[in-house]
Structure 1
Amino acid sequence: MLNNAILFLLQAVLSILTFAFLLRFYLQLTKAPFQNQLAQLIVTVTNFAVKPLRRVLPSIGKIDLSTLVLAYLTQLVLSICSLWLKGFPILIAGHTVWVVIFGVALIGIVSISLSIFLYAVLIQAILSWVNPHTPIAPVLNSLTYPVLRIFRKYIPPAGSFDLSPLAFIITAQLLLTTILIPLENNLLSTL
């Protein structure tokens, strides 16, 4: 029972931390404005690890490798600790187990990345109806524009309604439920 509580806390903390690292990565990649409270919160929460790693691992152009590597390492630690707390003998397992663990961590990064954009599009759509001039709107616009631009090429507006957020939400959910989650389950079933 104590293992379950520790596992829950570990999953909650490391998932939130991975989310924060990836959100910072995508905010920097899309050149979102950092003058609002959400962006400042993400920077404050992640600076403890990003600043020291940037000294060792510099950015390559627009790509901030330190935040991306930290997100992956956080998912990797989560995968290893989850298996260990569930009683899996990681230390005596073979090499194929480590390939599976690295794969599960990578799938976790892709899933959380997709979730970031999914939530951003959903929040942006809701705020556009309720309060389109909220202080977080520029951040959401910067974050979602590259993704929604792809959908806007193929889906014209229906009158004054932009249907691209709905198409993205459906596509993202479809990718999560038909590809990423089954792939992760298949990898974990090989252990």
Structure 2
Amino acid sequence: MRETLSFLLHTLGDFLVLLLLARFYLQAARIPFKQPIGQFVLALTNWIVLPARRIIKPIGVYDSSSLLIAALTAYLMHFSLLWLSPWPYLFADVFSQLALLAAALLELFKMSLYLLFAAAVGQAILSWVTPYHPMMPVFNGLTAPFLRPLRRIIPPISGVDITPLILILLIQLFLNVFVADFEKYLLYQVRLPS
């Protein structure tokens, strides 16, 4: 029962964090919410973002309420998952709270990389199949800041731009080598001393 509840909490928590980050990045990249994915994100996040905007004001053009709610969701998700685990954890310690906060921020970073990964995959597939698909401006808007430096280094090969594939490989490398181990380390810091 505990494993099922943990799985549901982790899945729903990550999904909400992903939606809130998508809202934040779409707005930061000034991508209109007219396309279906934008409407989907708005429909599933308005219930929590719109009331929070009364308290949390935007910082410049950035939707700080979406980002702060995503961070709070990640924090509560990790707190709940540790509380449900059979291992003893010390939540009252300041160092443990800092480790949980760092794990929540790492969760935001990880979910941001997953969003970028999905946008790069979508862009790569659509550029080969239907380059004028309505989703292409969304993918281009999200990936352009990361592909621009790569395109300066790696020119097209026989007219084929392979930089989205390079970006996908770099994201996978970063997620598998650095993020996974660092997340385990942070959550281990919350455990009770032996």
The TM-score range, normalised by the shorter chain, is: over 0.9
Report the Cα distance in structure 1 between the residues aligned to 2:102 and 2:134, rounded to whole angstroms: 38
Q: 1:98 maps to what in 2?
A: 97
How far did 1:33 drift?
A: 2.2
TM-score normalized with structure 1 length: 0.94
More displaced 10-residue stretch of structure 1: 103-112 or 139-148: 139-148
Q: 1:179 maps to what in 2?
A: 178
Offset from partner CA, 1:21-47 (integer Å, 9 cap, x none): 001100001111211111011011000
Report the Cα distance in structure 1 between the residues aligned to 2:61 and 2:186, rounded to whole angstroms: 32
Report the Cα distance in structure 2 between the residues aligned to 1:123 and 1:153, rounded to whole angstroms: 22
Q: Structure 1 residues 13, 152: closer, same or farther in 2, change over 3 A? A: same
Amino acid corresponding to residue 45 of structure 1 in structure 2:
L
Amino acid corresponding to residue 153 of structure 1 in structure 2:
R
Q: Is the 8 A contact 1:21 1:71 kept in 2?
A: yes
How far did 1:164 drift?
A: 1.1
Counterpart mapping for 1:143-158 below 5 A:
143-158=142-157
Offset from partner CA, 1:108-139 (integer Å, 9 cap, x none): 11011011001110111011112222221221
- Please list every run of at least 4 consecutive aligned residues from structure 1 whose deviation after the TM superposition is greater than 4 angstroms: 88-93
Q: Is the 8 A contact 2:120 2:143 kept in 1?
A: yes
Report the Cα distance in structure 1 between the residues aligned to 2:178 and 2:164, rounded to whole angstroms: 21
Q: Is the 8 A contact 1:33 1:138 kept in 2?
A: no
Q: 1:119 maps to what in 2?
A: 118
Q: 1:166 maps to what in 2?
A: 165
Counterpart mapping for 1:72-111 below 5 A:
72-89=71-88, 93-111=92-110
CA RMSD in angstroms, aligned pairs only = 1.5
Q: 1:47 maps to what in 2?
A: 46
Amino acid corresponding to residue 169 of structure 1 in structure 2:
I
How far did 1:17 drift?
A: 0.4
TM-score normalized with structure 2 length: 0.92
More displaced 10-residue stretch of structure 1: 104-113 or 126-135: 126-135
Structure 2 counterpart SS, 1:47: helix
Offset from partner CA, 1:136-180 (integer Å, 9 cap, x none): 122111111122112112211112111211121111111111211
Structure 2 counterpart SS, 1:55: coil
Report the Cα distance in structure 2 between the residues aligned to 1:161 and 1:92, rounded to whole angstroms: 52
More displaced 10-residue stretch of structure 1: 140-149 or 112-121: 140-149
Report the Cα distance in structure 1 between the residues aligned to 2:102 and 2:4, rounded to whole angstroms: 25
Amino acid corresponding to residue 141 of structure 2 in structure 1:
S
Report how many residues are paired. 190
Q: Is residue 38 of structure 1 aligned with residue 42 of structure 2?
A: no
Report the Cα distance in structure 2 between the residues aligned to 1:92 and 1:70, rounded to whole angstroms: 21
More displaced 10-residue stretch of structure 1: 147-156 or 99-108: 147-156
Amino acid corresponding to residue 165 of structure 1 in structure 2:
P
More displaced 10-residue stretch of structure 1: 43-52 or 172-181: 172-181
Gaps of 5+ in 1: none
Identity across matched positions, percent? 36
